[in-house]
Every structure is written in structure tokens, then in C-alpha cells.
Structure 1
Amino acid sequence: MVVIVIVGLLSGAVVLTMADPRGRIADDIDRFAGRTRAARDSAIVSGKPVALWVSPTAYGFERRENGAWQAVTDGPLATRDWAEETRARLGSATQVRAVFDSIGRADQTLRFTLERGGSAVTLRMDLDGKVTSGG
């Protein structure tokens, strides 16, 4: 009987420490922040504007080429879906967008909330492309 109790307690401990297969919401924030920095740096290095867009289910980047915006389809700036069951709450907008110029400055700040389950984290991107988050 004691063995069964011990096995039950150990099984419970394992279940409680198992990682969420979707990853942590902080992982989404870290990936988004890193890709945003890469977009800003790309605008500086190339001397061409790079746009960032965020929708409720995904985010991505576009480059200005030959007078038109072209979606980035490969590499770290390709469109990415938020993790499973994660949504960006954008207020009344269906998409928000900011453009980095050739000196790395964004044309506007962005602010939105990432939600998953009972968790919600507000993200802010400053004019310099720095992404910060808080409850």
C-alpha cells in the first residue's frame, strides 16, 4: 500500500513539472522581440524600409522593393503563427503595422496583448524597435 502511495505521489509530481507542449507565452514574446530587432537591423543594413505587421493569429515582415511592399517568405523574418491557442488582442484593429526606416526608427509604437488560456501579457514596441512586456 505504501508503494502505491509513493508511486502516486511521484506520478503527480511528474505531471506538475511537465512542460506545456505549446511552450511558454514568454517564448513567443522572446521570438517576436528577436525577429523585431532583426527587422530593424535589416532596414539599417540594407538602407530600405522594413515593415512589421501583427494580426490576432500571426505576425510577419515586408521589405520595400522596387516601389512596392513584398512579403518576406523565408529566413527569420518569414511570417510566423503565434503558438497554439495564442492570440494577439489588437483592440478594434484586425492588424497593426509599423515601418522601420533606414536608420532603424519605427514610424509608430505598437502595443497589443498576447493571450493564451488564462494568461495575458501586454507587449510594447518602442520607436527604436525595443520590445518590452508586462502583466
Structure 2
Amino acid sequence: MPTFIPATSDARRSDTPPKAEEHGFTLVELLVVIVLLGLMSATVVLTMPDQRSHILEDAERFAARALAARDDAVLQSRPMSLWISASGYGFSQRTRGQWTPLRDKPFAPTNWRKGTSALVGQTGHEQLYFDSTGLASEPLMITLVRGGQRVSVTIDLDGNINVGA
């Protein structure tokens, strides 16, 4: 004889379909959020300062000023001097038998940017002379250091100046 067991009813279940707000997020909404997150993260990455660019700017600025000093020595037919220390660099010009420090731009003494230092010899100071033909007194390589990054600036005997990694 068959036995009848009444089914228990679950008050939480309903035969009516769920409402639209119960479905969760739509694919379009998720894609919009992902695009916005991507745009915001790209903005943050692009505005973060690059340490490599700071040290490269210092090296290029130094090289440009050293090149200007070499050109000035040729144009004025007067030797120019370039000194470099761990904290900065400056220029002097030979006038009436004496070296006169230059104070006007672009030859004013300049400190390296905060966090940048130069590796210069054992004395912590290097000096180079450009004669009136633009030749350097000796070849010189200066290495700038900033936060683990290094950039070298070389000055050849013929007065050529190169910035390299």
C-alpha cells in the first residue's frame, strides 16, 4: 500500500521569478568599472616621477654646460676650467693670468639635484681645462648616482662630450 508523505514547504522558495535588482551587476556595469579602474591606474603610473629621468636630466644638463664652456673657450680664445665635486660643479675662466670663477648663467656654480651625487676621484674633486682650441687637458669620466641608478658623462681629449648609461 502506498504511503503518502506530505512535502514540507519552504517559505523562502517562490515560484515567481526574481526581480531585476536581484540579478547582480550586468556585464556592461562590470566593463565600465574595469575601464574606469584602468584609466585611474594609468593616470597614477604616468604621473609618478621616474628616477632614471632625473639623473639623466642632471647628466644632460651638465654635459650641455660643459659643451658651452668648451665652445666659449674657443670663441673667446681663453681657456676655461670646469670643476666637479660630489655635490655639484662650476666653471672658471682664465683672465689676465688668473682663474676667475664664473657666477653668471650658464656657468654659475650648480648643485646636483637632491639625491644625485657624482663619483669623482679619490680627492672628491676633479678639474678639467679646455684650451682656446677646445681641447681638454685630460680625458675625464664622471659617474652620477641616484637611488641605485648610474649615468656616466665622458669628456674626451678632443673635447667631445658624451652621456651614456
Pair in the same fold by TM > 0.5: yes
Letter in 2 for 1:126: D
More off after superposition, 15-24 vs 33-42: 15-24
Further displaced range: 25-34 or 13-22: 13-22
* Alpha-carbon displacement from aligned partner over 1:50-76 (angstroms, at most 9, x marks no partner): 001111111111011122111110121
Q: What is the aligned partner in structure 1 of residue 161 from structure 2? A: 131
Which structure shows the bigger proportion of residues in strand conformation? 1
Percent of pairs with identical residues: 36
Aligned AA for 2:132? S
Q: Deviations along 1:41-99, whole A, 9 cap, x unmatched?
A: 11111111100111111111101112211111012111111122111011423111110
1:117 equivalent in structure 2? 147
CA distance in 2, matches of 1:28, 1:62: 20
Partner residue of 1:20 out of 49, 52, 62: 49
Residue 44 of structure 2: SS of its match in structure 1? helix
> Which structure 2 segments of 5+ residues have no match?
1-28
Match of 2:106 in 1: 76
Q: Distance in 1 between matches of 2:141 and 2:125?
A: 12
Structure 1: gaps (5+ residues)? none
Larger radius of gyration: 2
State TM-score, norm by structure 2: 0.73
Number of aligned residue pairs: 135
CA RMSD after TM alignment: 2.0
SS of the residue corresponding to residue 76 of structure 1 reads coil
Moved over 3 A (4+): 1-9
